[in-house]
Amino acid sequence: VPKTMGQIILQLLRRPAFRREAVIENFVAIATMQAEEDIWRLELLDRFRKEFAKFNPALRADVDLAGPTSKVGIVIFSHGDYDFFSRLSETVARIEANTKLVGEIREVENGIKNFVAEFDAPQVFTHRSYDQSDPLEQWLSQKVLGHQTIVQFEVTVPAGKVFGDGERVLVKRKSGWKKGTVVRQRDDGDY
């Protein structure tokens, strides 16, 4: 599908009336990416997750399939599938078994977590709920390898005339510090 078709799909999906009639509750969209210029397909399916089917489970997965001489990327967007992760791993395993390609699930992003009104956690965990003896022992066994001290000096130039005419000074230039002589103080306070 060319990029212009993706732009048309995006414009149609932005119309609420079209979404109500065309998009069902549970759906899957798949796109392949073989070259760097195909990144728009990933962005299009990510728009599904961010704009149209926002709430969990609204998952976008990036899968790489690599062979001895070639590599292809697959972007999968799934909405409404609570078994998405098991189906995704089964699909990648089947592709690997039936082809000479090696699959790698690079990234999976979910939509917004659903709000649960008046959620009351059955158990609340604190730091005391976990055994901290091993981390504390490791922390106490650390050896100091060195110290670093950072000191910052700031010079505030007092108001009024600081240098006298003919006084020898060091002047900071781009090329470094240069020796100079004060000729006179200008009206703006510089020398």
Closest CA to 65 of 33, 41, 43: 33
pLDDT value of residue 23: 66
pLDDT value of residue 159: 65
pLDDT value of residue 92: 92
CB atoms within 10 A of CB 49: 20
DSSP 35: S
Domains of the chain: 3-109 (3.30.110), 153-191 (no CATH)
The whole-angstrom separation of Cα 75 and Cα 64 is: 9
Q: What is the pLDDT of residues 92-131, one digit of tens each?
A: 999 999 988 999 999 898 887 777 777 788 888 888 888 8
Q: What is the pLDDT of residues 133-157, one digit of tens each?
A: 888 888 888 888 888 888 888 777 6
Q: What is the pLDDT of residues 165-185, one digit of tens each?
A: 888 888 888 888 888 888 888
CB atoms within 10 A of CB 103: 19
The whole-angstrom separation of Cα 105 and Cα 85 is: 10
pLDDT value of residue 115: 72
Q: What is the pLDDT of residues 42-88, one digit of tens each?
A: 788 787 777 777 778 888 899 999 988 888 888 888 888 889 999 99
pLDDT value of residue 160: 62
Tokens of 128: 């005391």
Asked whether 88 and 105 are in contact (CB, 8 A), the reply is yes
Q: Which helix (H) or strand (E) holds 15?
A: none
Q: What percent of the chain is predicted at pLDDT more than 90?
A: 13
